[in-house]
Chains A and B, each alone.
Chain A
Amino acid sequence: NAGVTQTPKFQVLKTGQSMTLQCAQDMNHEYMSWYRQDPGMGLRLIHYSVGAGITDQGEVPNGYNVSRSTTEDFPLRLLSAAPSQTSVYFCASSYLGFTEAFFGQGTRLTVV
């Protein structure tokens, strides 16, 4: 079982560049979410989705876009990267909201 596949693992961007972090799950989970993790701040929710076609903002949504065209995929888009977006990003999925969550391996993003 692949579980949650998150790519890339590492990325360096220049300020102003755009990119998409990919997240895919093969468990038919309805609930998917994106988090960023910064030193001393713990995990913070960026965006989440409760099913295909439905997304909502989390705690820190500014500068990020998401879409959920299929149950399997939940990409996170950085429209114009800023140094403040340097962080480690995690995608997660679960069957229902806050049941057992499965996390991707994380993406370490550096914006210079």
Chain B
Amino acid sequence: KNEVEQSPQNLTAQEGEFITINCSYSVGISALHWLQQHPGGGIVSLFMLSSGKKKHGRLIATINIQEKHSSLHITASHPRDSAVYICAGGKTSYDKVIFGPGTSLSVIP
């Protein structure tokens, strides 16, 4: 069993739909990271969370440390949101980061 799991593995949505990607982990962490990887391969950091909720434009990330669960929401999805979304967790500042397998999102016009 992977220490960090994501669901769904693949997701296809119509433009404008509200999207939720889930991340659950079995190890204790102090912070969780959401990353976006576009088809060209580049990886961009979206959020780092240690508690509560963060919002950036149409993206919202939430985390519940006690329940070991985080969600990434995309409101009013757009084809340019098509990418792989990866969650990753770490325990301490210099601890080894554990990555989830990624969720592949495709938004159709």
B99 touches A103 (CB 8 A): no
**Which residues in B have their C-beta under 8 angstroms from that of A59?**
96
- Chain A residue numbers with a CB within 8 Å of B99 are 35, 42-44
Chain A CB count within 10 A is highest, among B86, B88, B96, for B96
Taking the nearest CB of chain B, how far is it from the CB of A51, in angstroms? Answer: 9
Instruction: Let me know if B100 and A98 touch, CB within 8 A.
Output: no
Interface size on B, residues (CB 8 A): 23
Total interface residues on A, using CB and 8 Å? 27
Stretch among B13-21, B37-45, B69-77 lining the A interface: B37-45
- Residues of chain B lying within 8 A (CB to CB) of residue A45: 96-97
The residues in A between 22 and 80 inclusive whose CB is less than 8 angstroms from any CB of B are 31, 33, 35, 40-45, 48, 50, 58-59
Q: In the complex, are the beta carbons of A42 and B101 less than 8 A apart?
A: yes
Specify which of A33, A58, A88, A98 is in contact with B41 (CB 8 Å cutoff): A88
Query: Contact string, B76-106, partner A, CB cutoff 8 A, digits 1/0?
Result: 0000000000101010111111011110000
> Contact at B93–A97, with CB atoms within 8 Å?
yes
Q: Are A106 and B48 in contact (CB under 8 A)?
A: no
Q: How far is the CB of B34 from chain A (nearest CB, A)?
A: 11
Asked if B59 is at the interface of the complex by the 8 Å CB criterion, the answer is no
Nearest residue (CB) in B for A50 is B94
B31 near A: Cβ within 8 Å?
Answer: yes
- State whether the Cβ of A84 lies closer than 8 Å to any Cβ in chain B: no
- Docked CA distance A25–B6 (Å): 30
Task: Specify which chain A residues have a CB less than 8 angstroms from the CB of B43 in the assembled complex.
Answer: 90, 92, 103, 106
B residues 1-57 near A (Cβ < 8 Å) are 30-31, 33, 35, 41-45, 48
Separation of A59 and B48 alpha carbons in the complex (Å): 22
Given contacts A97-B92, A103-B35, A106-B42, 18 further A-B contacts (CB under 8 A): A40-B101, A41-B101, A42-B86, A42-B102, A43-B86, A43-B99, A50-B94, A97-B93, A97-B95, A98-B48, A98-B90, A98-B93, A98-B95, A99-B48, A101-B33, A101-B35, A103-B42, A105-B41
